């Protein structure tokens, strides 16, 4: 078939309020391709049918996402997760390399006349975690990497990455043994310990100050196509970028695309800053998570889980790019909301925007509950939406797009 769909392919049926999965099968008549979904059949051999139902060929992203959020890869120590991403991206890009500080660069070449403009899509792959500060009497003292809500740490399973990986659990002393000023409220990190169950001599021989400690909470599929686990900030966005690259296998695009899994976002924003300087793209998009509505989080600064993605608006971001993304999302019937970030967005978008002489930058957000905990929650539909919007934007970029960019756009919103 001209659209590249074959029997057995997974088909994403994209609707305004979500996405359902069907499977392509061969039709007995005229060898057409039919998608069977919820007992209904959609003839995919007719272009009008494909256009009307907004079909797109996409692999199921869940297995890869589960791998991502099962791997360590703390900020500045991203090697384990970078290797997983590199293996997944290699068939999808023309070139792949690693920056001097550990960011992963995948280049998918465009079809436009050389020299072609380029777009950088940045998704940080590093995760929050912990660091060993002291080993005493067989127990491990900790400090944080990347900012952690310590209230949720007691009872959390972890892996201590010493001379060998050791499973452990974060524990706290009995309240009676704590200083009086530490008994009220949440227990501070200086009073929390990791217990590996090993004898003190064994712990002392295997664990050193400076060793990393990562969360060991397994991915859990919740009801409603929702997944929970650690490091969904921001590996959900890495999954979205992977969907974009997969869709670009069957979509033509004029621009070169730099898919970048950045390092150190949680600590320094250094991965995005150095990659933007090195690659020098004409445009950039940062994809990160944003706050979803949930217990105690229901203000205008939060967004419904599974009901769409967000487009950043603020000084850190370019209004013309906001306008174009909003127009495209409306055309594709992808639900989006404005995420107002008046100053520093707290994402890779900031360091990209100010690289070199300045790069027009956009921010796409995926709503996520319980940010910076071992049980973050995200809707798979929103990941799919972000990936599709990225691919459609890239494929629609004309060679003269940059010349049309202007800050003076009163109707951008």
Judge contact between 73 and 126, C-beta under 8 A: yes
Say what the pLDDT of residue 4 is: 46
Tell whether the model's pLDDT for residue 334 goes beyond 50.
yes
According to DSSP, residue 70 is labeled T
Tell whether the model's pLDDT for residue 323 goes beyond 60.
yes
Tell whether the model's pLDDT for residue 10 goes beyond 90.
no
Q: What would the 3-class secondary structure string for 228-248 be?
A: EECCHHHHHHHHHHHHHHHHC
Q: What is the CA radius of gyration of the chain?
A: 23
Instruction: Please give the model's pTM, rounded to 2 decimal places.
Output: 0.86
Q: How far apart are CA 252 and CA 260, in angstroms?
A: 20
Say what the pLDDT of residue 409 is: 57
Type and span of the H or E element at 341: none
Tell whether the model's pLDDT for residue 48 goes beyond 50.
no
Say what the pLDDT of residue 297 is: 83
pLDDT digits (tens, 9 = 90+) for 204-239: 999 999 999 999 999 999 998 999 999 999 999 999
Q: Give the chain's length.
A: 413
Which fold is adopted by the domain 62-127+230-404?
Aminopeptidase (3.40.630)
Distances (CA, A) of 65 to 206, 227, 295: 31, 9, 25
Query: Mean pLDDT, to the nearest integer, of 358-365?
Result: 97
Domain locations along the chain: 10-57, 62-127+230-404, 129-215
Say what the pLDDT of residue 411 is: 63
pLDDT digits (tens, 9 = 90+) for 96-137: 999 999 999 999 999 999 999 999 999 999 999 999 999 999
Phi/psi-derived region of residue 221, left when phi > 0, alpha when psi is between -120 and 50, beta in every other case: beta
Q: Which CATH number fits domain 129-215: 2.40.30.40, 3.30.1490.100, 3.40.50.620, 3.40.50.11540?
A: 2.40.30.40
Q: Mapping DSSP to helix (H, G, I), strand (E, B) and coil, where does residue 75 land?
A: coil
Say what the pLDDT of residue 267 is: 96
Say what the pLDDT of residue 14 is: 41
Say what the pLDDT of residue 42 is: 46
410: confidence class by pLDDT, cuts 50, 70, 90: low
């Amino acid at each position: 078939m001209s659209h590249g769909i074959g029997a057995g392919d997974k088909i994403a049926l994209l609707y305004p309020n979500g996405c359902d999965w069907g499977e392509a099968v061969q039709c007995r008549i005229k060898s057409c391709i039919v998608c069977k979904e919820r007992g209904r059949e959609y003839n995919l051999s007719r272009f009008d049918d494909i256009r009307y139902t907004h079909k797109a060929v996409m692999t199921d992203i869940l297995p890869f996402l589960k791998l991502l959020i099962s791997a360590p890869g703390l900020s500045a120590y991203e090697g384990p997760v970078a290797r997983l991403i590199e293996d997944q991206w290699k068939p999808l890009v023309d070139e792949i390399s690693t920056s001097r500080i550990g960011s992963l660069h995948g280049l998918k070449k465009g079809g436009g006349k050389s020299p072609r403009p380029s777009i950088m899509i940045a998704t940080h792959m590093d995760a929050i975690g912990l660091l060993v500060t002291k080993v005493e009497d067989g127990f491990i003292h900790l400090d944080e990497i990347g900012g952690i809500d310590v209230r949720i740490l007691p009872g959390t399973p972890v892996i201590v990455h010493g001379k060998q990986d050791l499973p452990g659990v974060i524990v706290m002393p009995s309240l009676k043994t704590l200083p009086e000023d530490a008994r009220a409220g949440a227990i501070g990190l200086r009073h929390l310990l990791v217990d590996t169950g090993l004898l003190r001599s064994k712990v002392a021989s295997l664990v050193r100050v400076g060793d990393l400690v990562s969360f060991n909470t397994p991915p859990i599929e919740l009801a409603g196509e929702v997944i929970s686990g650690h490091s969904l900030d921001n590996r959900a966005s890495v999954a979205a970028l992977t969907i974009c690259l997969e869709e670009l296998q069957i979509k033509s695009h004029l621009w070169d695309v730099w898919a970048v899994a950045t390092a150190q976002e949680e600590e320094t924003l250094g991965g995005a800053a150095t990659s933007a300087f090195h690659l020098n793209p004409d445009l950039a998009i940062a994809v990160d998570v944003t706050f979803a509505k949930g217990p105690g989080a229901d203000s205008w600064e939060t967004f419904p889980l599974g009901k769409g993605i967000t487009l950043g608006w603020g000084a850190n971001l370019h209004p013309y790019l906001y306008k174009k993304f909003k127009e495209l999302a409306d055309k594709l019937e992808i639900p989006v909301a404005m995420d107002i970030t008046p100053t520093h967005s707290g994402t890779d978008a900031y360091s990209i925007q100010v690289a070199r002489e300045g790069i027009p930058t956009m921010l796409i957000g995926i709503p996520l509950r319980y940010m910076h905990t071992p049980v973050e929650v995200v809707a798979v539909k929103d990941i799919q939406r972000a990936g599709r919007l990225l691919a459609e934007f890239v494929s629609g970029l004309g060679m003269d797009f940059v010349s049309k960019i202007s800050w003076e756009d009163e109707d951008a919103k």
